[in-house]
Structure 1
Amino acid sequence: MSSSFLPDNTENGTDFRTEVYKLLIIALPIMGAQLAQSGMAVADTLMTGRLGADALAAVALGASIWTPLFLFMAGVMLGLTPFVAQWQGENKPEKTGPFTFQGFWLGLAMSLISIILISFHTYVLDLMSAPVHLYDLVSDYLLGIMLAFPAIGLYQTMRSYTEGLGLTKPVLIISVIALLINILANAVLIFGWGPIPALGVLGCGIATAIAVWSSVIMMWLNIRYRSRYQQTTPFQHFSLPEPRILNTILQTGLPIGVAIFFEVGLFTTIALFIAHLGTTQVAAHQIALNVTSVTFMIPLSLAMALTVRVGHSLGEQKRKHTDDTAPEAVYVSRRITRFVAITGIICTVIASGFTASIMFFLPESIARLYTADTEVIALAVTLLHLAAVFQLSDALQVSASGALRGYKDTKIIMPITLVSYWVIGMGLGYVLALTDIIVPAQGVSGFWYGLIAGLSCAAILLCWRLRKTAS
């Protein structure tokens, strides 16, 4: 990249080291919070597994129903972050509180819709051809989860608000405490303790609800009583739902939520397609998917931080050049924010290059952590090699998407991900995996070749869009 494209203007605070530091200060707590959030799912799996295969299967089936809805909600609420970040950069705190309060109404509305959709879970289980004897267990688990959804709507609003301000450490601390609460509540409610009866999978769902509601209380206390939030707090701006503001949040957040839903749905559909290929292929796919799900937290966290940095930069430059419309001033302003975006992308690619190297050079060691079955290990090694290849494409597409969110240019993300994931990724993957049209059927490996193609397409298109937006 030319020096003209990567400015190094230390007097404007845009040198590479300074920008990397600013990005990591925001990103590292987010990364820890994401890993703690993933840890709740791991704890649920490990602890319900002690009840037997049926309980474990019920939690897995229930999670496949409610997790996409949760991720969709979280994606939509990310629509708050770039607005808060830009106003923070502009030093206009008075705009943040009233705007954020409307997010509570949106979060609660989506929670209600999610609860209604979850209540029809038996129809989804029918489509998945799930064992009938598991239906009651899944229903028990999801009953507890439904209690958590109003809290999810409230918490995601407050999280997007505080991350938009660049205050990410509270999110980390609260996430770790919530993980500990979840583990303790699981131990008590799943297996029983003293006068509290063993509730099994119902207890697991209720434990999740307790952990999420605890997060809401902790975040509320953090915002209510810390002085750093006083100028922007949403709690002093109660108002009825305002369609104009809700529509503004949805215009930015809905494409993000739908894009996340597309990606989650892609992996769920692949799992359904390979179910009949045998336990070896399913197990190897699950190992590779589990590894990539964990490593994806690194680029995802950097991308979320990049949204905040781009928003802050846009606001700062707007504040500095409010009365200066000279072409040179406008050019410098755009150049500085573009530098922020490119720096974030470079950091994300470097981090993903590290995880890709581990997958590529140590795949067998990774696979042996999950199983001793030699056939599963051999296929998992192949899939981990393919996963290493798409780490860089994944890093490019998620970081470019994060930068576009900072620019509030999110509408384009939805059609790009739809075409890339479903038309190219799933289409090519299906042809390579289950047909002999191009080459002899590759089995599960074919779907992973499709993922490489789909993520690469998304990376190219999103980077192209970012270049246009940032120019």
Structure 2
Amino acid sequence: MVQSLFTKEKTSKMMIVFLPILITQLGLFAISFFDTFMSGKFSPVDLAGVAIGTSLWLPIYNGCSGILLAVTPIVAQLFGQRTKPQYIREAVMQSIYLALIMSAILIVLGFAFLNSMLDFMNLEQEVKRIALEYLIALSFGIIPLFVYTVLRCFIDALGRTSVSMFITIVALPVNIAANYAFIYGKFGLPAFGGVGAGIASSITYWIIMIIAILITAYVHPFSQYGLLRSLPRPSLKEWSNTMKIGLPIGMAIFFETSIFAAVTLFMSSYDTITIASHQAALNFASFLYMVPLSFSMALTILVGQEVGANHFKRAREYSLMGIFFAVGFSCISAIILVLFRDQVAYLYTNEHDVAILTAKFLIFAIFFQLSDALQAPIQGALRGYKDVNVTFFMTLLSYWIIGLPAGYVLANFTSFGAFGYWIGLIAGLAMGATGLSLRLLIVQRRMKASN
């Protein structure tokens, strides 16, 4: 069984799709890191303003862009069916229209309610100003960012993930250079401080969109689909098809990303050392999550293509392979964390007390990322089958109905203290992974029976 599962052909195809996605995700992680890091070097107030702005923007962005991730399984299945190029073109172009509408709605809502939201947070006046202006600057890049998201999903769905990797590799130095220029006031520009990070991000988003447009227009095999050569009539039916798949994906991602903002808010009652240690451990756990997330995205592509071609046995084999690789990596990283958690903690701080507590939080991060290694690739496989509703409900259940309430009880009514929030989330995530595993088995058996 193992020998037939890990054939050279399937393993090679998995790695060809997975590795560029991983490099792309690490590049996007690095862009976010440099925004925060370079703003912090300007001043602590600018760091705080950018941190507040980012904490508001990321859950909303992840939720909205999650809707557009529906393009990947839609195009992957059409590609697997070897359908005519015009059908894929129609699906992608209608998704671009949807991206433009979502961008416009988000910008209008932001300008209507953003100031009131920041007032409600009772921030220092200068921190509020920086957060507000940072988000306003960022808003000029929402349209190109969402259009690029659709184009990236189209590119990836064809299995050409190395192209998205190339775009990200180009974007990273552009973003760093723009941050340097606008944050610190170089090359004759005024020093905008943290607001400059928003300007730099918007410029970067426009550049990556333009690069993606040029690639899809002039580079084979993308050029054969004729994207943007003419504008088809808007189709409410196509928008509805995308939303049926995308909305549950977007909501699931929103629930997943916003839970950490909620935990951070609850932990604000603890001392500075505890909060700093929690954030450091959470940042490293987010870094490790890039691997199972990348396997998840790879499985959406590979499973979607095989399902579209009615190769249900191969789709099942790719699902098992992706889960095996993700869990295997997590076991290796868990061993490394057990042995070197103190050294990892000191990467984030020179303060002894913070490092000691961070090392303790990293023990819980081990169990957290082991559960992630199971649930993330399963989510990706289910998306490849276009089965997304159960994932949405399981994410809501595992994080918000089980994880957060259990964490609150453990943190406030037991001796676990701040660690209780991590234990609660781990328990919820483990239950979610179990539920998703059962769902994947049901979907695969249903597909097998229908074949």
Contact 2:50–2:195 at 8 Å: present in 1 too? no
Give the match for residue 421 of structure 1. Answer: 399
Give the match for residue 26 of structure 1. Answer: 17
CA offsets 1:110-138 (integer angstroms, 9 cap, x no match) = 11222233322233324433223322111
Give the match for residue 257 of structure 2. Answer: 264
Question: TM-score, length-normalised on structure 1?
Answer: 0.91
| Partner SS state of residue 230, structure 1 | helix
2:314 aligned with 1:336: yes
Query: Partner letter of residue 451 of structure 1?
Result: L
**1:158-237 mapped onto 2 (5 Å cutoff):** 158-237=151-230
Contact 1:96–1:234 at 8 Å: present in 2 too? no
Contact 1:80–1:160 at 8 Å: present in 2 too? yes
C-alpha deviation, 1:194, in angstroms = 4.3
Contact 2:182–2:190 at 8 Å: present in 1 too? yes
**1:105-144 mapped onto 2 (5 Å cutoff):** 105-119=97-111, 120-144=113-137
C-alpha deviation, 1:399, in angstroms = 0.7
CA offsets 1:265-302 (integer angstroms, 9 cap, x no match) = 11000001011111111011011111011111111011
Query: Partner letter of residue 385 of structure 2?
Result: Y
CA offsets 1:406-433 (integer angstroms, 9 cap, x no match) = 0000011111110111111101100001
Question: CA–CA distance in 2 between the matches of 1:194 and 1:392?
Answer: 46
Give the match for residue 346 of structure 1. Answer: 324
- From 449, 456, 463, the counterpart of 2:423: 449
C-alpha deviation, 1:458, in angstroms = 1.0
Give the match for residue 52 of structure 2. Answer: 61
C-alpha deviation, 1:23, in angstroms = 1.2
CA offsets 1:329-362 (integer angstroms, 9 cap, x no match) = xxxx433321121111111111222222222221
C-alpha deviation, 1:49, in angstroms = 1.5
Unpaired runs of 5+ in structure 2? 446-451
Question: CA–CA distance in 2 between the matches of 1:51 and 1:227?
Answer: 44
Give the match for residue 247 of structure 2. Answer: 254
Distance 1:272 1:129, change over 3 A: farther
Question: CA–CA distance in 2 between the matches of 1:89 and 1:194?
Answer: 49
Question: CA–CA distance in 2 between the matches of 1:382 and 1:50?
Answer: 28
C-alpha deviation, 1:390, in angstroms = 2.2
Give the match for residue 357 of structure 1. Answer: 335
Query: Partner letter of residue 105 of structure 1?
Result: Y
| Partner SS state of residue 394, structure 1 | helix
Contact 1:313–1:340 at 8 Å: present in 2 too? no
Q: Structure 1 residues 296-305 or 338-347, which shifts more?
A: 338-347
Count of residues paired in the alignment: 443
2:81 aligned with 1:97: no
Contact 1:79–1:252 at 8 Å: present in 2 too? yes
- From 365, 379, 383, the counterpart of 1:401: 379
- Identity percentage over the alignment? 36
| Partner SS state of residue 369, structure 1 | helix
CA offsets 1:191-225 (integer angstroms, 9 cap, x no match) = 22344222223322111000010000101111111
Give the match for residue 330 of structure 1. Answer: none
**1:366-405 mapped onto 2 (5 Å cutoff):** 366-405=344-383
User: What's the C-alpha RMSD, in Å, of the aligned pairs?
Assistant: 1.6
